[in-house]
Amino acid sequence: MRKDVLDFIQSEEDYLKFIRQQPKWYRKLTRYPEKLDEFRLASLEFFGKTIPQRVDKLQNQVQMASFMIDMFQVLKEQQGQSSDETNTETKDESNKNETE
């Protein structure tokens, strides 16, 4: 393999991991060093680092956060209703005790 290609691969930890998991790229780059850009793109795609993949990941995180906020609001409303019911029951019991 050419020295410049080897230096490029060693410059990034993900490239080393990718070429170990996909040895076909070692053969390709040895025969066709001009495919280095294709290798870089394939590596980015494999590790989920392309812009569309990052946007999807961010979108999923925002949806999860929104879902969690909605859940907390529902729980808060339910707790508020429960405490209102408890207060009403306590007042009813006090009124019964006063009338007796």
Residue 33 and residue 58 in one domain:
no
pLDDT digits (tens, 9 = 90+) for 49-71: 999 999 999 999 999 999 999 99
With pLDDT > 70 as the criterion, what percentage of the chain qualifies? 82
Residue 62 and residue 75 in one domain:
yes
> In 3-state terms, what secondary structure has residue 12?
coil
Cα distance between residue 9 and residue 32, in whole Å = 14
**Domain that residue 64 falls in:** 50-100
Identify the DSSP state of 35.
G
- Residue 48 backbone class (left: φ over 0; alpha: ψ -120 to 50; beta: rest): left
Residue 57 and residue 85 in one domain:
yes
Confidence of residue 84 (pLDDT cuts 50, 70, 90): low
